[in-house]
């Protein structure tokens, strides 16, 4: 799609991006996201791999790391 902006909200199935005073919603399913980290590094994330509610993703990561 080639859209860019800051992530302003997230649901289980979508990411909401904002740029200026506009917002647009992108479905996570079958999408690839490139994020630029504060350090300037970029990372690619498959939307299918983050199709959880934000609070569920934290729980799953903790279980995976056995925290």
In the structure, what pLDDT confidence band is assigned to residue 1 with cuts at 50, 70 and 90? low
In the structure, what pLDDT confidence band is assigned to residue 53 with cuts at 50, 70 and 90? confident
Question: Any idea which fold 6-65 has?
Answer: SH3 type barrels. (2.30.30)
- Kindly report the average pLDDT of the chain as a whole number: 89
Backbone angles phi, psi at 29, to 5 degrees: -55, 125
Return the domain boundaries, the chain.
6-65
Task: Supply the DSSP string of 29-63, one letter for each residue.
Answer: TT-EEEEE-TTS-EEEEEGGGG-S-HHHHHHHHHH
Nearest to 46 by CA among 59, 55, 60, 35: 35
Q: Tokens standing for 59?
A: 């729980």
Nearest to 29 by CA among 16, 44, 15, 13: 13
pTM: 0.76
């Amino acid at each position: 799609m080639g859209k860019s902006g800051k992530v302003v909200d997230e649901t289980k199935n979508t990411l909401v991006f904002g740029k200026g005073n506009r917002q647009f919603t992108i479905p996570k399913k079958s999408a690839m996201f490139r994020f630029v980290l504060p350090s300037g590094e970029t990372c690619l994330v498959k939307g299918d791999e983050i199709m959880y509610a934000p609070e569920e993703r934290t729980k799953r990561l903790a279980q995976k790391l056995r925290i």
